[in-house]
Structures are given as structure tokens and as C-alpha cells.
Amino acid sequence: MSSPSQGGGAAPKVIVIDPGGSRRLPVTLTTAGLTLGRVEGNDIVLPHDSVSRRHARIDWDGQRATVTDLGSSNGTNVGDARLLAHSAQDWRPGDWLNIGPFFIQLEPPEGVMQQAQASASANVPPPPPPPPGPGPYVTTNPVPGLQQAAGAQQPPPGSTGTAGSTGAAGGMFESGRIRVTLESNTLTLTPGQPAVVRVNVANTGTLVDHLTVSVEGVPSAWVKAPEVPSQLNPGAQTTVVLQVNVARVAQNRSGDYPVTVRARSRENPNETGAAVALWTVLP
């Protein structure tokens, strides 16, 4: 295990967004690299059952960052690409690293950031100040410090925590029978402009079921899901289309929103399948 530092030097930084939306303090990525996994002893600990004990490794050679999946059980994604085990993959700023319910961001070295900001400020007028009011779980500017656990956070005003139908409640469990996959685990939303999310839902069981898709983590007004549950025969799958529209109002703040897209069984309401994603609302 290396000794990650929090700050300084011409090296990139790694920022973890926890499942509840809290953004950890940046960790400097040195040439010693960083290991990520579920247990203590890793440089970055990701405590979740879907994360392997030693899940992945991030390396920096002074010029570029790479990510290597260490043969994890549930895989590692960079952007929309799933990594091959034990094969280093380039990781560029702007591509989200996804491990289980965690999203991880690469922040370029300080000099690169300053050059980009100077170039941008010379050609683009400064953005207007953000509107007043509460923001999302995580805002992207400024980067907040380390927050409390996800359970201590409150959803945005007008949010029930779930868009589309009733959210996950006590007693719910995720089964291998209901499988949910997304075309992309990231989505950029411009207020006032509608977007579409396609969700692939599969019934791998032996009984006919009716599945309802919902989104947790954003205000319910943002997402319109089909009102009629999808009927799936054993072994069948279908694509459910969600319509997403963030109204341009003061209450809808820009930032990163970790969401869970969940399919719920009508025959056994406590049984679900889910996929995680990160939705970014632009100013």
C-alpha cells in the first residue's frame, strides 16, 4: 500500500463520489499508484458488497493515468467501456471511473488546470452566478469537503427520493433474477432540454412477471416513466424508455446526481434489480 497524500505537487488528483452523493477530499495520484478495494489496506477503500477486496489499481507515469481491473468479481468501467481484467486502460479527465455504486473522477495536474482555465477565460465570458436555493447532493463548483455519510443527507426540495414510482423501502432486496443495464452510466442534462434514458430490463427467472422502472436520487418531476408495467416472460428482456427533463427553475441546481435505476417486481414487490448512474446537470 502506498501513502496517498491530500494536496500538492504537479500530479493529478482522484476524487470519489460515494453512493449517497458525498464527495470525498481529493487524493493525489503519484507515481506510486493507488489501489482501490472493499477492505482496509487499500489506498482508497470502497466499502460495498459489489466491490472486490482488491478491485482495481490506478497508475500515473508522470504523463498519463491508467486503470487496471485486478480480476474483480463485478468489473470496472471507464466511461461506457468495461475493462478487461489485468489490462491497463488509459484514463483521461472527463471519463468517469465506475466501481460498484462509486463514481471516481480524475482531476488533471494543477498546471494543466491553470492553462485550461486561462485559455477558457480568454475566449468565454464568465458564467452567471448560480441561483439561490438548495443544491443537489453534490455540487461541482466549488468542490465541497468531506461530508457525512449518505444517510445524513437530505434530498432536494420536491423530491421523494424516487422518480417514476415508489422508491426502495425496508425489506427490499436485489435479486439476480431481475437484471437492469443502461446504455450509458453517465448522462449530461441541460435544463429545459428533454433527454431520453434507455433501460434494458431482463427477467431471468422461471415465472412471468411485470416490472416497473423507477429512478432514485432525483426529484420525481424530472423523470417520466411508463405508467404500465412491462410484462416479461421467463428469459425475456425489453427496453424501457425514460423521459428526463430538468426544468430551468431556481430549485433545480447544477451538479452531479448519483442515481439508481431500479426495476421492481409486481409479483414480489420486495424483489428488485438495479443499476447505478451519474447524472450531471449543467448550469
Q: What CATH number corresponds to the domain at position 182?
A: 2.60.40.10
Do residues 276 and 182 both lie within one domain? yes
- Which of 91, 107, 123 terminates a domain? The answer is 107
Residue 198, in any domain of the structure = yes
> Has residue 71 been placed in a domain?
yes
Question: Using H for helix, E for strand and C for coil, what is the string for 206-268?
Answer: CCCEEEEEEEECCCHHHEECCCCCEEECCCCEEEEEEEECCCCCCCCCCEEEEEEEEEEECCC
**CA distances, 14 to each of 26, 44, 107, 174, 278 (Å):** 5, 10, 6, 30, 17
pLDDT band at 179 (very low <50, low <70, confident <90, very high): confident
pLDDT at residue 117, as a whole number: 41
Is residue 274 situated within a structural domain?
Answer: yes
User: Kind and range of the H or E element at 110?
Assistant: helix 110-123
Same domain, 98 and 192: no
Model confidence at 228, pLDDT cuts 50, 70, 90, reads confident
Query: Residue 144's pLDDT band (boundaries 50, 70, 90)?
Result: very low
In a domain, 2, yes or no: no
Residue 257 phi/psi, 5° resolution?
Answer: -120, 105
- Give the model's confidence band at 173: pLDDT under 50 very low, under 70 low, under 90 confident, else very high: low
Query: What's the total number of domains in the chain?
Result: 2
Residue 127 maps to a domain: no
**Residue 112 pLDDT class (50, 70, 90 cuts):** low
**pLDDT tier at 111 (50, 70, 90 boundaries)?**
low
pTM of the prediction? 0.58
**3 — pLDDT class (breaks 50, 70, 90):** low
229 within domain boundaries: yes
Structural domain that includes position 61: 13-107
Domain assignment present for 169: no
Domain shared by 185 and 274, yes or no: yes
User: Residue 186 domain-assigned?
Assistant: yes
- Say yes or no to pLDDT of 175 above 80: no
Q: Which of 53, 87, 107 is the last residue of a domain?
A: 107
Q: Give the residue from 81, 107, 133 where a domain finishes.
A: 107
Question: Is a pLDDT exceeding 70 seen at residue 138?
Answer: no
Do 182 and 274 reside in the same domain of the chain?
A: yes
Q: How confident is the model over 190-200, as a mean pLDDT?
A: 91
> Which CATH number do you get for residue 20?
2.60.200.20
More confident residue, 143 or 185: 185
The more confidently predicted of residues 120 and 18 is 18
The CB-side HSE value for 154 (13 A sphere, CA atoms) comes to 5
